[in-house]
Structure 1
Amino acid sequence: MFWKLPMFGKISKIGIRPPKPEPGRDGLAITLIVRNEARHIGEWARFHHRAGVARFLVYDNGCEDATLPILRETLPPEALVIVPWKQVFSDARMGREIHNQVLAYAHAASNFGGAHRWMAFIDVDEFLIPKRAGSLPEALAPLGEARNLSLPWHMFGRNGHETPPEGGVIANYLRRAADPMSDRRGIRAFKCVVDPCHLTALRVHSMETDGTDLTCNDRGESARGAEREKPGFYSADHIQLNHYYARSEQELREKIGRGPNLVAKSPEYERKVRRTVEAIEAEEVEDRAALDFLARRDAVEPAEASCGRS
């Protein structure tokens, strides 16, 4: 008799063997998975390149628009790695799909992590912002030998835009949820920046280094995985993670139309997304952290250029 094994959720946590550090490893790499992000990828790449990211590890999940050409035009060749990543893998015995984004993260850390001191794992609607320093590596330097950094989402809603405004995301979305640590649905979450040479297990929103979930905030204060959700762990003193969750109403509808990563959750997805947007927009504050960083860079870069002229 043939027995069909029960279906469960995706395999969303993957253990890895950390890569060995390469001689002279340094800098920050960002890993992201993309599919048809041409509308925003140029702004995202320019911002993070100006913020000091040394390498962009881009996993192409079947892009059919200009996402990849824009990246090639925006970033220097030595800073960009594009990996084809259109696939669906599953555990053949249990029938469980392996989370393709987590698999990309594991591949990036294993194959490229040895060259870098830090590796971030974010999406195109997320921006890492140095709050005081002139670059992300400079902002990370005071953390010393820290190996696992958890950054809370700062969630931005529609900001009154019905259609995508001209001028990009940073200039047009200046209001976010007032409390990044709110327990309102969908607001409180983290992304990680880790030392890939100590990374032992990973999910989208949490990672383990040296076999433990011990993490720290951007002030270097440590906590176990679940404890980072306590209000006292919150910090965005040095690095802020902006998540432009909804952008315009048109883009929100497109987001809903694309559906969730897990097909079985599709009927609930629109309700979930709308509830999250409602929670974001229930109480908002102005936030100009990204614009302030760009203004600092604009003030510094002409002076840097003049230092190189004879």
Structure 2
Amino acid sequence: MTGEYVAFCVVVRNQHNDLPEWLQHHYFHHNIRRFYIMDDNSYPPHYLSQNFGIPRDAITHRYLQNETTAIQHGVYNICHEDYGTKHQWIALFDVDEFLEVQLPATLNTFLKKHENAGAVGVNWQIYGSSGHLTRPTAGVRKSYTKCIPDSPYLDNVHIKTISNTAYFLGMDRNSHTVLLSKGKTTVDEHGKPIPGNGPYRVPVTKDIILLHHYVLKSKEEYVEKMLRGSANRNKKDWNFWNHIEMYSNASCTSMTKYNP
């Protein structure tokens, strides 16, 4: 397994302030040595001159100006079509999603056990604002600790995908799941097929691997998110904020231990 056994493909728009911590977390703690930053019309495009805190040669940056192409579904296809032969796996995550793997497993050793699968689906752990009104100086992982419990709510049942490039045929109808070669399935952390390949997995388990989804962050950052819109051209509103805040009544602190 080389340093580029796994690559991350992420779609961003005007999120240059979010990238350093996200890149450093996955570079230093998960040995990711290839990040495809697919820029969806950022203005101005900050990324070319920015110091991200990781070696610059770990980043491949593409600035996509054609709005009919530069959406999450299409961009994930581009990552596989243009770079899939360079990697065994491509993780299709967002910049507000931070991976955690429970020791003694590592991301590489975990995925090595599932190379016969078409993809691995990873459950979310969703976080609220933890009372922050403005962007916290301590960063995402140390600042947001109020999360939605797995039961009785359904928010964490969503999965995101780490795709095995050998069996990838294209994105499914959503940005969470992929279409696979005949006979191949998306499996969960225990290697069991996920019915319909997702985008939901019930019951939620987080024994080995999970994806911390900081979907709101501070109120200041949420306003920016509403104005920016998503890579799927969706726009969040205050009803979504109120829903996440209402149910973020559990404590999730496992990510606070990470430095940098």
What TM-score does the superposition give when structure 1 sets the normalisation length?
Answer: 0.73
Alignment partners' CA distance in 1, 2:21 and 2:248: 27
Name the SS for the 1:191 alignment partner.
strand
Q: Which has the larger radius of gyration?
A: 1
Alignment partners' CA distance in 1, 2:128 and 2:39: 26
Conserved? CA contact 1:178–1:283, under 8 Å: yes
Corresponding residue to 2:87 among 113, 116, 123: 116
In the superposition, relative to structure 1, how do residues 67 and 83 fare at CA in structure 2: closer, same or farther (>3 Å)? closer
Name the SS for the 1:109 alignment partner.
helix
Q: Which structure 2 residue ranges, 5 or more long, are not aligned?
A: none
Alignment partners' CA distance in 2, 1:48 and 1:181: 31
Conserved? CA contact 1:85–1:104, under 8 Å: no
Query: How many percent of aligned residue pairs carry the same amino acid?
Result: 22
In the superposition, relative to structure 1, how do residues 285 and 145 fare at CA in structure 2: closer, same or farther (>3 Å)? same
In the superposition, relative to structure 1, how do residues 290 and 283 fare at CA in structure 2: closer, same or farther (>3 Å)? closer
In the superposition, relative to structure 1, how do residues 181 and 104 fare at CA in structure 2: closer, same or farther (>3 Å)? farther
Number of the residue aligned with 2:214: 244
In the superposition, relative to structure 1, how do residues 131 and 259 fare at CA in structure 2: closer, same or farther (>3 Å)? same
Q: Deviations over 1:95-134 (max 9, x none)?
A: xxx6721111101101111111111011111111112246
CA apart distance, 1:260: 5.3
CA apart distance, 1:188: 3.6
Number of the residue aligned with 1:257: 227
> Is the aligned partner of 1:82 residue 2:61?
yes
Alignment partners' CA distance in 1, 2:102 and 2:123: 14
Number of the residue aligned with 1:198: 167
Number of the residue aligned with 1:54: 33
Number of the residue aligned with 2:138: 167
Alignment partners' CA distance in 2, 1:243 and 1:153: 6
Kindly report the root-mean-square deviation, in angstroms, between the aligned alpha carbons of the 2 structures: 2.7
Number of the residue aligned with 2:107: 136
Conserved? CA contact 2:9–2:90, under 8 Å: yes
Conserved? CA contact 2:124–2:159, under 8 Å: yes
Name the SS for the 1:39 alignment partner.
coil
Letter in 1 for 2:158: A
Alignment partners' CA distance in 2, 1:276 and 1:212: 39
CA apart distance, 1:78: 3.1
Name the SS for the 1:124 alignment partner.
coil
Q: Relative to total residues, which structure has the larger helix share, 1 or 2?
A: 1
Conserved? CA contact 1:153–1:242, under 8 Å: yes
In the superposition, relative to structure 1, how do residues 62 and 226 fare at CA in structure 2: closer, same or farther (>3 Å)? closer
What is the correspondence of 1:219-234 to structure 2 with a 5 Å cutoff? 219-225=190-196, 229=200, 231-232=202-203, 234=204
Conserved? CA contact 1:121–1:192, under 8 Å: yes
Conserved? CA contact 1:180–1:188, under 8 Å: no
Query: Between Structure 1 and Structure 2, how many residues are aligned?
Result: 255
Number of the residue aligned with 1:291: 256
